[in-house]
């Protein structure tokens, strides 16, 4: 086995970090790295499966696990016979942790879309979440460091920068003057006037600062795509989750934004079957998909995570959790299908990727003409929707 195998599970943070580990470990041989996830019981099951499969595929290689599972379930993962070693999440981009030369993991320049992790960790304590255990306290990448990363990707040809983080909208709170995320977005757009597209990954609506709202509402280079870490549509459940927003806050935010930018596409993370959730709470969860016009719905069946307060609350039976998740997915799919159908006849500017398709500003997936080079921005007039792809 020549080049190291980096297996990435979970979130965009892990994807961005895996790209940097790939560059940092390029000189290593017979090495398999599993960059793991433990956000849900299912994610942990997939991590274990990935470890077993990697060992079966590479019986003689050194297999090292990093990522949130290596933090949260350290003893259990470390005890797996397939595993040779663990590297702490906070050390995975440190060459010393891997005994390789260098000061820091080099950037892996992206040629189309570049994910930049500008924030890590989290200071909140949502009652269902283990991420703070896996990624530690919230910390921000200073503006100068972010601009250096943007430059590296733009020089390599990237046309879209995606800002990502664990709790993205808390970026800056630990920096001098506690700037809001809007300051960072403005700084990137000013420093790179030729950068066509900047996208935000998941944000906490209640933490959107005034400057960021203005950019989302009026700046054409900021993509009209708002993915909310919403989690639920019922206020009592939001309280029991220890979320910082109410249903009304989310409704008001989206209404205000859509009034200024009608083409903004809303996405949201929603949990089904949170402990104590009754039929009325579930109905409120279903209804918010329509009320916010959520066209990118990410539905998560509640998963009890060890050491979280939600695990000690009265649980909803698993079959009910699964049934409610299926209902939410069906509602989300219907909303999405209606939205995609409404785009027929529109001309969309698409950033082409290698597979013959790409994303529109609203994050709709669109087929591009044959032979369109990856990294090219191309206008496509939508004629039809086929299996969720605009053509």
Token digits of residue 267: 């996405």
210-218 helix and 181-191 helix, angle to the nearest 10 degrees: 50
15, 114 contact by CB (below 8 A): no
> Given the complex with ligand SF4, which of 98 and 274 has the nearer CB atom?
274
Indicate the residue among 112 and 133 with the shorter CB distance to ligand SF4: 133
Residues forming contacts to ligand SF4 in the complex (CB under 6 A) are 122, 124-126, 129, 131-132, 166-167, 229
CB 150, min distance to ligand SF4, A: 24
**What's the min distance (Å) between Cβ of 224 and ligand SF4?**
24
Q: What is the DSSP letter of 46?
A: H
- List, in order, residues 6 or more apart from 172 with CB less than 8 Å away: 140, 178, 179, 180, 181, 183, 184
Cβ 241 to ligand SF4 shortest distance, Å = 8
Nearer to ligand SF4, 183 or 228 (CB): 228
* Residue from 87, 120, 118 nearest 4 by CA: 87
Instruction: Rank residues 238 and 343 by Cβ distance to ligand SF4 and give the closer one.
Output: 238
Alpha carbon of residue 282 to chain centroid:
25
In whole angstroms, the minimum distance from the beta carbon of 257 to ligand SF4 comes to 21
State in angstroms the smallest separation of the CB of 285 from ligand SF4. 16
C-alpha span between 119 and 362 (Å, rounded): 23
Hey, how many other C-beta atoms are within 10 angstroms of the C-beta on 62? 15
Between 160 and 167, CB nearer to ligand SF4: 167
Complex with ligand SF4: residue 24 or 70, whichever CB lies closer: 70
Q: For the CB of residue 128, give the shortest distance to ligand SF4 in the complex, in Å.
A: 7
Token readout for 96 is: 């010393």
- Which of 270, 250, 389, 386 is closest to 326 using CA atoms? 270
Q: Are strands 385-386 and 389-390 parallel, antiparallel or unpaired?
A: antiparallel
Query: Which one, 136 or 157, has the nearer CB to ligand SF4?
Result: 136
Q: Which is nearer to ligand SF4, 89 or 229 (CB)?
A: 229
- Give the shortest CB-89-to-ligand SF4 separation in angstroms: 13
Least distance CB 141 / ligand SF4 (angstroms): 17
**For the chain, how big is the Rg over CA atoms in Å?**
21
Q: Is residue 113 helix, strand or coil? A: strand
Identity of the residue, 41 or 132, whose beta carbon is nearer to ligand SF4 in the bound complex: 132
How far is the CA of 254 from the CAs of 115, 290, 337, in angstroms? 25, 12, 20
Q: How far is the CB of 283 from ligand SF4 (least distance, A)?
A: 23
64 neighbors 87 (Cβ within 8 angstroms) = yes
Residue-by-residue DSSP string for 312-378: GSPPPPHHHHHHHHHHHHHHHHHHHHHHHHHTTT-EEEEEE-TTSEEE-TT--EEE--TTPPTT-EE
The closest of 180, 192, 245, 246 to 216, measured between CA atoms, is 180
Cβ 244 to ligand SF4 shortest distance, Å = 8
Q: Is 9 exposed, middle or buried (0-12, 13-18, 19+ CB in 10 A)?
A: buried
For ligand SF4, the closer of residues 129 and 163 by Cβ is 129
């Amino acid at each position: 086995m020549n080049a190291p195998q980096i297996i990435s599970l979970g979130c965009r943070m892990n994807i961005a970090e895996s790209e940097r580990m790939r560059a940092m470990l390029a000189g290593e041989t017979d090495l398999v790295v599993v960059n793991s996830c433990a956000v849900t019981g299912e994610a942990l099951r997939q991590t274990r499966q990935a470890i077993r499969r990697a060992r079966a595929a590479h019986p003689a290689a050194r297999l090292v696990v990093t990522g949130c599972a290596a933090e949260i379930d350290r003893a259990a993962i470390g005890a797996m016979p397939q595993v040779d070693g663990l590297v702490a999440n906070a050390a995975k981009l440190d060459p010393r942790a891997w005994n390789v030369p260098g000061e820091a993991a080099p950037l892996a320049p992206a040629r189309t879309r570049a994910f930049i992790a500008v924030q890590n960790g989290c200071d909140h304590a949502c009652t269902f979440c283990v991420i703070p255990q896996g990624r530690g306290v919230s910390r921000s990448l200073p503006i100068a460091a972010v601009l250096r990363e943007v430059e590296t990707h733009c020089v390599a040809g990237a046309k879209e920068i995606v800002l990502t983080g664990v709790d993205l909208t808390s970026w800056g709170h630990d920096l001098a003057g506690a700037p809001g995320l809007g300051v960072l977005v403005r700084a990137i757009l000013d420093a790179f006037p030729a950068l066509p597209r900047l996208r935000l990954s998941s944000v906490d609506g209640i933490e959107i600062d005034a400057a960021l709202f203005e950019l989302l509402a009026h700046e054409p280079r900021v993509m009209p795509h708002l993915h909310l870490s919403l989690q639920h549509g019922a206020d009592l459940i939001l309280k029991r989750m220890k979320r910082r927003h109410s249903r009304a806050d989310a409704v008001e935010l989206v209404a205000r934004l859509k009034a200024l930018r009608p083409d903004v596409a809303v996405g949201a993370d929603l949990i089904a079957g949170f402990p104590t959730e009754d039929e009325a709470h579930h109905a409120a969860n279903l209804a918010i998909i329509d009320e916010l016009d959520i066209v990118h719905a990410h539905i998560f069946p509640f998963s009890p995570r060890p050491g979280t307060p939600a695990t000690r609350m009265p649980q909803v039976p698993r079959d009910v959790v699964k049934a409610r998740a299926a209902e939410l997915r069906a509602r989300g799919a219907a909303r999405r299908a209606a939205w995609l159908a409404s785009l027929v006849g529109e001309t969309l500017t698409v950033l082409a990727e290698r597979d013959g398709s790409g994303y529109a500003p609203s994050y709709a997936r669109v087929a591009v003409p044959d032979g369109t080079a990856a990294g090219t921005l191309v206008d496509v007039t939508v004629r039809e929707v086929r299996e969720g792809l605009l053509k």
